[in-house]
Amino acid sequence: MADIKNLEGMIDSTPIMKDYADIESSKLPEYQIDSKIPEGPVAEKWTNYKAHQKLVNPANKRNLDIIVVGTGLAGASAASTLGELGFNVYNFCIQDSPRRAHSIAAQGGINAAKNYQNDGDSVYRLFYDTVKGGDFRAREANVYRLAEVSNNIIDQCVQQGVPFAREYGGLLANRSFGGAQVSRTFYAKGQTGQQLLLGAYASLNRQIQKGTVRSYNRREMLDIVMIDGRARGVIMRNLITGELERYAAHAVVLATGGYGRAFFLSTNAMGCNGSAAVQAFKKGAYLANLAFTQIHPTCIPVHGEDQSKLTLMSESLRNDGRIWVPKKKEDAEAIRAGKKKPTDIPDEDRDFYLERRYPAFGNLCPRDIASRAAKERCDAGYGVGTGNAVYLDFKYAIERLGEDVVRDRYGNLFDMYQMISDDNPYQTPMMIFPASHYTMGGIWVDYELQTSIKGLFAIGECNFSDHGANRLGASALMQGLADGYFVLPYTMQNYLSDQIKVPHFKTDTKEFDEAEKGVKERIAKLMAIKGTKSPDQIHKKLGHVMWNLVGMGRTLQSLVKALDEIEAVKKEFYSDLRIVGSADDLNTELEKALRLEDFLVIAKMMAIDALNRNESCGAHFREEYQTADGEAARNDKDYMYVSCWKYTGDNEKPILLKEDLKYEAIQVQTRNYKS
Amino acid sequence: METNINVNLKIWRQRSPKEKGAFANYRVENVSTGSSFLEMLDMLNQQLVEKGEEPVVFDSDCREGICGMCSLYINGHPHGPVQGITTCQLHMRKFNNEDTITIEPWRSAGFPVVRDLMVDRNAFDKIQQAGGYVSFNCGGAPDANATPISKEVADTAMDSATCIGCGACVAACKNGSAMLFVSAKVSQFALLPQGKVERARRARAMVKKMDELGFGNCTNTGACAAECPKNISLSNIARLNREFIKAKLAD
């Protein structure tokens, strides 16, 4: 390991990377990556693919089994659509019902290139905005396909009975989101994720009723079973009985969400985890771009050490709210000391720093930029509240539109804020601060959404593919549903077309025996530690390391320090963990411990990925790589690639593989939201 | 401003659906009034784990009032004493220093206790599977703006669709009826042109399933709507009754 004392002033990690990973082997022929991007101009690739792909006839679909792990927007839409096509689907979730997956908490909306507002939108513009928003680190062909199918998603959801917001004339309403100059976001109050998920859940229920989908709740995947080099099954832990269960299929789909709880505090739900990604990693799937984790600018600030999670305030609030901190440091100090109120500060003493720095996009600049700008002001001593907060003020919107209009647009969000903070945002500005929210990085997939393991697919947030280094608002719902409704149901058939003669798999084979034995040993090892710290106590420590050293601003030195500290937390985990209760029973502490063990793997890979990437791009901000005015300094010459990491053993160095990114339909440029 | 308080807890503990449960008493000190109710229970569980005792099992996930996973009957009210919120949105500033707080699971024939405060709500999924959808396959939908829907209708459907499926309505009802839950879904679809096509079939199927699963009858006491964390209105039940009668008359 590199000695932190010798690294002073160093900004390029290349000389020390060999201590953490193998970054030289990427040139070897066996480590070249085939992303299977179809030939032809970007606008024709998906059409060409669909025209020439292989299909499975209806009589054969009945004989093919597919496991879908997860029931969020991606999982539920994939499971229901594959069921509609006639496949046998086994669908799993860790919650007590598929309807509770964390997609349900998405507030603001879903993008689509409908151009119903006649404001200049198009498939190309949605594609362009998404690639630019992702700071030119996403795969062009995937993003174009995403923009292309976005319109079908809205049609699908309206037909499902999703009650989107409408204008008085009866047509659909739209609003704007960060990183776009058009209004292309469809929404259902501040509960868009809920309504879209309930739509997918309804379609899923129809298939469960028909018998094409079998639904298993309160099950957690603890391993993927490989047979002859292909993913052919899973080991599930029944969270009620503690029993291990075996399920076999011709293909396995992971739709298991992001790894944002590596930071402990995040806007993710309590059960969100990165374990499926780690299991795939250990079986040979690559983890890609893990450094790209989104810190959302508008969350309710942390109140204390006993806090369990953070609450997001929808980005849609930035349509009408203005973000500011006091211009004078003495005002900020007086506010923090409780001697002044925000309403005491006159307009001329308020620094609307986003409008000042980014006049063209103002309060609607992308999330990574808005988050960093908030941190910059707070670090400079202008923060309010505990010092780690800025104001989001609706005074101006209320003056312009009236309180009723503001209430109609954001009422439920204002109520939610008041419930948590005890402040009335109609009368005093909201306080907000950035928090971990979404992970752009994840399991590497090719154009067909297949991982580097045959027969193992990854969809939705758990894959890496569409958002590059930063995701735009209202694009997560779009991607989850695009993958599940309109992409995977096609590409899956291309994979299964030569599997029609493969009979149903039995689960009493040696491969299943071995996988289950491995899981049993893993659980027994953790139960046997019998130390003194609960999983949550250790998870909080990991969270502090990640937030302070691998968070919004990273340096070579902070990342090296993080790798040391993650190692220390890991040591504590394996020597001082305490799990009360029994493994063969409902045991929430064991569930947390297993997830934490996997977060320790992801945390280390996040830090290694961030250390390797000697540039700033999107949400990955290496402080040593910035322009004179504090913007991200990208290095396209050396880093215009997807960094894929291959597992080589628990205590071995991972191997870096590079998928070079080529932009043919779009001109690569420096992101500019100023003019 | 936030302060710290001490609370005494009377919590229902039950090993399994078949075993008998009982109340156990606990005390949690130095709880910030800025903490949420579930964070207070996290503190209790940390204390129990430190003593080598098994933590109190309760469901929670999103902790922002939308997933419907959390439950709890707190001082005689589903989701606690504050109207219009879920347990995870309840904050300790609503309690006083040295309060005694009684915490029970949902109690209803339709929701058997799994462990402590965790119950089995699979019956709700089964009711939705019986007909809570529009029957069409992905890919066949017309353009989203092909059918205008008035803002009033869309907004009313949205109000019904806001149900989070937590089960507070059943827990609040002396008959253990699931009418508010069923009627919210039936209403959402009955209001929208996409859902109207199958409205009779849906109302029949969902009500039949609800009856089969052992939920009680509705006697219009209104406790469900009064305790609903999402303020789902009783008018949904009136609409379901109309839908159901119309469906029966058509038979």
Closest Cβ–Cβ partner in A165, A188, A206 for B133: A206
| DSSP three-state, residue A154 | helix
With beta carbons less than 8 A apart as the criterion, state whether B208 and B114 touch: no
- The pLDDT score that the predictor gives to residue A5 is 81
Question: Chain A residues with CB inside 8 Å of B85's CB?
Answer: 419
Q: Give the chain B residue whose CA is nearest to the CA of A215.
A: B125
Closest Cβ–Cβ partner in B69, B137, B157 for A96: B69
Closest Cβ–Cβ partner in B122, B124, B195 for A161: B195
Q: Give the chain A residue whose CA is nearest to the CA of B30.
A: A306
How far is Cα A74 from Cα A103, in angstroms, rounded to an integer? 9
Confidence of residue A259 (pLDDT cuts 50, 70, 90): very high
Q: Where are the alpha helices (DSSP H) in A211-328?
A: 275-282
Residue A637 distance to chain B (closest CA, Å): 42
DSSP H or E segment with residue B159: helix B151-161
Domain definitions of chain B by residue range: 4-114, 122-250
Residue A107 distance to chain B (closest CA, Å): 10
Compute CA distances B145 → A163, A167, A198, A399, whole Å. Answer: 13, 11, 21, 33
Q: Which of A73, A167, A189, A306 to mutate to test the interface with B (most CBs of B within 10 A)?
A: A306
| Lowest-pLDDT choice from A109-113, A409-413, A491-495, B164-168 | A409-413
Closest Cβ–Cβ partner in B43, B129, B154 for A166: B154
Residue B5 sits at φ, ψ, to 5 deg, of -130, 165
Q: Tokens 């209105």 correspond to what residue?
A: B233
Residue B206 distance to chain A (closest CA, Å): 12
With beta carbons less than 8 A apart as the criterion, state whether B134 and B198 touch: yes
Q: Do B34 and A303 touch (CB under 8 A)?
A: yes
Residue B16 distance to chain A (closest CA, Å): 10
Q: Which of B14, B51, B133 to mutate to test the interface with A (most CBs of A within 10 A)?
A: B133
| Mean per-residue pLDDT, A301-330 | 91
Domains of chain A: 296-437 (3.90.700.10), 509-641 (1.20.58.100)
Question: Chain B residues with CB inside 8 Å of A100's CB?
Answer: 61-62, 67-69
Question: Chain A residues with CB inside 8 Å of B38's CB?
Answer: 308
pLDDT at residue A1 greater than cutoff 80? no
How far is Cα A69 from Cα A81, in angstroms, rounded to an integer? 14
Q: Do A156 and B194 touch (CB under 8 A)?
A: no
Confidence of residue A305 (pLDDT cuts 50, 70, 90): confident
Residue A238 sits at φ, ψ, to 5 deg, of -75, 115
Q: Do A422 and B141 touch (CB under 8 A)?
A: no
pLDDT at residue A434 greater than cutoff 70? yes
Closest Cβ–Cβ partner in A99, A158, A170 for B150: A170
With beta carbons less than 8 A apart as the criterion, state whether B216 and B176 touch: yes
Closest Cβ–Cβ partner in B39, B61, B150 for A307: B39
Q: Give the chain B residue whose CA is nearest to the CA of A217.
A: B122
Q: How large a percentage of chain A has pLDDT more than 70?
A: 100
What is the tens place of the pLDDT at every residue in A486-539?
Answer: 999 999 999 999 999 999 999 999 999 999 999 999 999 999 999 999 999 999
- The pLDDT score that the predictor gives to residue B1 is 63
Catalytic residue status for A367: yes
Q: Do B63 and A209 touch (CB under 8 A)?
A: no
Question: Chain A residues with CB inside 8 Å of B132's CB?
Answer: 202, 205
| Lowest-pLDDT choice from A350-354, A364-368, A604-608 | A364-368
Question: Chain B residues with CB inside 8 Å of A195's CB?
Answer: 158, 161
pLDDT at residue A2 greater than cutoff 80? no
- The pLDDT score that the predictor gives to residue A630 is 83
pLDDT at residue A308 greater than cutoff 70? yes
Residue B248 distance to chain A (closest CA, Å): 23
Going by the DSSP 8-state scheme, the letter that residue A348 receives in this structure is G
- The pLDDT score that the predictor gives to residue A197 is 98
Q: Do B54 and A581 touch (CB under 8 A)?
A: yes
pLDDT at residue A632 greater than cutoff 80? yes
Residue B1 distance to chain A (closest CA, Å): 9
Q: Do B66 and A105 touch (CB under 8 A)?
A: yes
CATH of region B122-250: 1.10.1060.10
Q: Do A416 and B65 touch (CB under 8 A)?
A: yes
pLDDT at residue A411 greater than cutoff 90? no
Tally: H helices and E strands in chain B: 9, 7
What is the tens place of the pLDDT at every residue in A165-219?
Answer: 999 999 999 998 878 889 999 999 889 999 999 999 999 999 999 999 999 999 9
Indicate which residue of A219, A232, A246, A367 is catalytic.
Answer: A367
Q: Do B161 and A156 touch (CB under 8 A)?
A: no
Q: Do B49 and A158 touch (CB under 8 A)?
A: no
Question: Chain B residues with CB inside 8 Å of A152's CB?
Answer: 139, 141
Residue A385 sits at φ, ψ, to 5 deg, of 65, -120
| DSSP three-state, residue A436 | strand
Residue A29: partners with Cβ closer than 8 Å, 6 or more residues away: none
- The pLDDT score that the predictor gives to residue A303 is 85
Asked if the ipTM is above 0.90, the reply is yes
Q: Which of A96, A266, A584, A588 to mutate to test the interface with B (most CBs of B within 10 A)?
A: A96
With beta carbons less than 8 A apart as the criterion, state whether A54 and A46 touch: no
How big, in percent rounded to 5, are the helix, strand and coil portions of chain A?
Answer: 45, 15, 40
Torsion of CA A331, A334, A336, A337, to 10 degrees: 180
Closest listed residue to residue A155, CA positions, set A146, A166, A164 = A164
With beta carbons less than 8 A apart as the criterion, state whether B172 and B89 touch: no
* CATH number 3.10.20.30 is the correct assignment for the domain at B4-114: yes
What is the tens place of the pLDDT at every residue in A224-249?
Answer: 999 999 999 999 999 999 999 999 99
- The pLDDT score that the predictor gives to residue A176 is 87
Question: Chain B residues with CB inside 8 Å of A116's CB?
Answer: 145
pLDDT at residue B237 greater than cutoff 90? yes
- The pLDDT score that the predictor gives to residue A675 is 74
